[in-house]
Chains A and B, each alone.
Chain A
Amino acid sequence: NAGVTQTPKFQVLKTGQSMTLQCAQDMNHNSMYWYRQDPGMGLRLIYYSASEGTTDKGEVPNGYNVSRLNKREFSLRLESAAPSQTSVYFCASSETHSRGRSKEYFGAGTRLSVL
């Protein structure tokens, strides 16, 4: 039972480069989320997808784009990476979009450094 799988686990980029972080869940969940985690700041929501075919901005969407490719997959794209985007990125999924009530399952994270 894989749960939420993120790739890659580690990535180093130069300023201005682009990349896509991949996320897939095998729990048939409707909702998926992308967070970033920075020291001393907890987790902050970047984008979310309440259901297949929909995406919406979270608290810190600037510099990112997302695609809900199908029910299983939700990708996060950095078009032109900046040092401020150095962070640990987590993908999560939940059965329903009832935040704060439903259980969110997290992947193991992608550690991104932008030089």
Chain B
Amino acid sequence: TQLLEQSPQFLSIQEGENLTVYCNSSSVFSSLQWYRQEPGEGPVLLVTVVTGGEVKKLKRLTFQFGDARKDSSLHITAAQPGDTGLYLCAGYNAGGTSYGKLTFGQGTILTVHP
């Protein structure tokens, strides 16, 4: 069974602080996605990383895929209240099935206080 462990589960910080969310597994993934979900809404895709060691930046958010493609991190610089939400990572492995398997982590609930 493929598992994606996210840490921390909860994060409460002040506006302007930096933070990092981790997504770890013992399995190798073909690609990894990060989503943000706001209360009462569905997840929204932020980024997809596919190459080991890949780093992608989206304004104040930096995403990194581990060299071995088993882990990933999301770093937010100078967090804003608008960053508040549930952050989910999802790893994809084609495996032997026709549709592959997209495994979601449990999520990290981030609250940024003004």
| Cβ distance B80 to chain A, nearest Cβ, rounded Å | 23
Residues of chain B contacted by A41 (CB below 8 angstroms): 106
1/0 per residue, CB under 8 A from A, across B85-101: the answer is 00010111100001111
- The verdict on B68 contacting chain A, using a C-beta distance below 8 Å, is no
A53 at the interface (CB under 8 A from B): no
Q: How large is the interface on A (under 10, 10 to 19, 20 to 34, 35 or more residues)?
A: 20 to 34
Instruction: Flag if A109 contacts B106 (CB, 8 Å).
Output: no
Whole-angstrom CA separation of A75 from B18 in the bound complex: 42
5 nearest CB pairs, A to B: A100-B92, A106-B42, A42-B104, A43-B104, A100-B31
A residues in contact (CB < 8 Å) with B = 4, 40-45, 48, 50, 56, 58-59, 90, 92, 97, 99-101, 103-104, 106-109
